[in-house]
Amino acid sequence: MGRQPLVAALAALAALALPAVAVAGSGGFAPPEPASPSAERIADIYWLILAFAGLVLLLVVVPLVLFAVRFRNRGGDRDVEGPQIRGNTNLEVAWTLVPVVILFVVGAFVFYKLPGITDPARAQDGRPVEVTVEGRQFYWRYVYDGGEVAIDRLRLPLGVEAELRLTAPEHDVLHSWWANELTGKRDTIPGQGTTIRIVPTREGAFTVRCGEFCGVQHSAMLGAVEVVPEDEFRRWLDERREQQLAGSPELGEELWTGACAKCHGEDVAGELAPPLQGNPVLRDADALRDVVVTGPGEMPPVGRGWTDGELDALTAYLRENLAGGTGGDGGEDGEGDGG
Ligand code: CUA
């Protein structure tokens, strides 16, 4: 008899170590430090709900433990009944009204905060930076209103409203754009668009995750929002426009890393998708275009909708870096008919 409670207690303590590790690994119980007014409001809601949840937890668990100890079986007769109590109007009114009040407070607070989360910039003048955000298998494609393209890394100017139009190409699947230091999660829906607005108030790189399971490389849809001073942002945007017009390898590398390498491997040795060493498609601009636009076999049409500048840039990057090829063991039909 004596050993069993001891073993149970030790097992319970050992189990408690697991959530501790999980909490530490996720940065604690707190939401990430907000980098925009929207995220601040989301954090405010989180803390209010956590406070009530903590209160309710204590109200339930503390009496539960006290009663379990106080009224434990002390070896008495199991058939003896306790005193029969019936009805307590005050208690019953209290445990009905208190939850109603709590839910009302939480609901009212959320509705009070909500407008400022979805539309934080109403009071601000000046033109917002407009960006179309495309969720695609398995990368994020950002198109600025001047046509400039960025892959997986969205740059935004500090303190300026950004209007993001979230969508996915018709042929693609649901993804969910989630930069939790800046705003809430929002789905990107094939063929449809929704808009969110954010005003970044802190410089830095903030992680973007895909919050909707979208296929084998769902977890590879990790990107970032890089918030930089406005003049730096403008310089970068000008540079990107030139890179795109010139079909430059810098943009090509971004496309390769974001759209191709996650499956074919950074060194073309093949991971989820076939290896590409020595594949003639890497040298042939027309064949390359055909492959990325149609997506043969199990390959998603990663390049459908790309501008000529992007296709040229990818070709230029591959010619310079990978197409020379070690002539290796890559299949001639490496792209295709996945099995
Ligand atoms: Cu895209 Cu998950």
CB 3 within 8 A of CB 9: no
Cα-to-centroid distance, 209 and ligand 1 (Å):
8
β-pair partners for 140: 135
For residue 213, the ligand 1 atom closest to its alpha carbon is 2
**66 vs 197: CA distance, rounded Å:** 50
Q: Give tens-digit pLDDT for 143-164.
A: 999 999 999 999 999 999 999 9
Instruction: Please give the number of the atom of ligand 1 that sits closest to the Cα of 135.
Output: 1
Atom of ligand 1 nearest to the CA of 219: 2
Quote the ligand 1 centre to 275 CA distance (angstroms): 23
Cα-to-centroid distance, 22 and ligand 1 (Å): 23
CA of 175 to the centre of ligand 1 (A): 4
Ligand 1 closest atom vs CA 211? 2
Q: Which atom of ligand 1 is nearest to the CA of 210?
A: 2
User: Is 0.75 topped by the overall pTM?
Assistant: yes
Q: Kindly indicate the confidence band of residue 67, based on its pLDDT and cuts at 50, 70 and 90.
A: very high
Cβ neighbours for 15, distance < 8 A, ≥ 6 positions apart: none
What is residue 329's predicted lDDT score, i.e. its pLDDT? 38
Structure tokens at 201: 């108030």
Q: Which residue has the tokens 């905060």?
A: 113
Closest CA to 48 of 94, 104, 96: 104
**CA-based end-to-end distance of the chain:** 59
Share the mean pLDDT of the chain.
88
Task: With beta carbons less than 8 A apart as the criterion, state whether 210 and 173 touch.
Answer: no
C-alpha 126 – ligand 1 centre gap (Å): 33
DSSP secondary structure, 38-79, as one string: HHHHHHHHHHHHHHHHHHHHHHHHHHHHHHHHHT---S--TT
Q: How many angstroms separate the CA atoms of 311 and 305, rounded?
A: 10
303-327 per-position pLDDT tens digit? 999 999 999 999 999 888 876 644 4
d(CA 271, CA 220): 13
Q: Whose CA is nearest to atom 1 of ligand 1?
A: 175
**Distance of CA 263 from the midpoint of ligand 1 (Å):** 14
Contact 264, 276 (CB under 8 A): yes
Q: What are the tens digits of pLDDT across the range 177-214?
A: 999 999 999 999 999 999 999 999 999 999 999 999 99
Q: How far is the CA of 261 from the CAs of 252, 254, 311, 316, in angstroms?
A: 12, 10, 15, 16
* Residue range 16-60, pLDDT digits in tens: 888 777 777 766 778 889 999 999 999 999 999 999 999 999 999
Backbone φ, ψ for residue 122 (5° rounding): -55, -35
Pocket, ligand 1, Cβ cutoff 6 A: 135, 175, 210, 212-214, 218, 221
* Interval 93-115 mean pLDDT: 94
Q: Which ligand 1 atom is at minimum distance from the Cα of 138?
A: 1
Give yes or no for a cis peptide into 138 (omega within 30° of 0): yes
Q: How far is the CA of 213 from the centre of ligand 1 (A)?
A: 5
Largest CA distance in the chain: 90
- pLDDT of 19 reads 79
Closest CA to 153 of 129, 176, 175, 179: 179
Residue type at 131 in one-letter notation: V
Give SS3 for 334.
coil
